Amino acid sequence: MDFDPELLDILRNARHIAAFTGAGVSAESGIPTFRDAQTGLWAKYRAEDLATPEAFRRDPVTVWNWYAWRRDLMRAVRPNPGHLAIAAMERLVGRVTVITQNVDGLHVQAGSSEVIELHGNIWHNRCTDCATSVPESELSADTPPVCPHCKGKIRPGVVWFGEALPTQAWTRAAEVLETADVFFCIGTSSLVEPAASLPRYARSCGRTVIQINPELTSHDEIAQYVLRGKAGEVLPALLKAAWPQVG
């Protein structure tokens, strides 16, 4: 795989890299994207119809059971070479910040130390009434579980359709774009706002934007460099090309 020598120089000279990742990165580990069809008992549902506050209020049992099924699918999933390459960048660049739309926690598993989860984390739980976080080990046997503090219903700690992104995470992401030299846009369809606006903001801040995706998206028009392919193939090759001495 050949890369523009100028791109390799940019990476070697970077002091802070931001990696913005989407569902395509997790899909390489075997996690279905929201655009994939549901399977088994869930084939009659659309993911977009279950991942909403309204759905949880209307039928909390079904929504909780769907997330329990999704968690079971993810328990055996491991980070793929794309996740590992992003984590490996930390040994090569002064600072690497991951900004992810994914809720699976795989970037942390891979070893990335600075991860901003824009859409929350599927392994977290919080009360719908008092907003208290409840670890999985303390969940009651009810469906959905009951909050040990106020007896409210426990929900997954993810951002549902129609909900605002967590203020702290969004603020941190904006701050990163003001300091990072390079902005990777990896495996994201550019369809989900407001997260999809981050590459445009990065470009407006004068950052070098690098798009990695097997398919064309609207981010291709924003990026100075477009690398066509899967993250798990492109990123390891890119790191080896930029830092051949590392192996």
For the annotated catalytic residues, the residue numbers are 119
Q: Count other C-beta atoms under 10 Å from residue 11's C-beta.
A: 22
Q: How far apart are CA 229 and CA 247, in angstroms?
A: 21
User: Before 194, cis peptide (omega within 30)?
Assistant: yes
Q: Count other C-beta atoms under 10 Å from residue 105's C-beta.
A: 18
Q: How far apart are CA 197 and CA 7, in angstroms?
A: 23
Question: Smallest Cα–Cα separation from 60: which of 153, 150, 134?
Answer: 153
Tokens (6 digits) for 210? 């690098």
Q: How far apart are CA 101 and CA 83, in angstroms?
A: 14
Maximum alpha-carbon separation in the chain: 59
Looking at the DSSP assignment, which residues form a beta bridge with residue 98?
19, 115
Question: Smallest Cα–Cα separation from 70: which of 101, 107, 111, 26?
Answer: 26
Cβ–Cβ < 8 Å for 176, 99:
yes
At which residue do the structure tokens 């999704």 appear? 70
User: Before 144, cis peptide (omega within 30)?
Assistant: yes
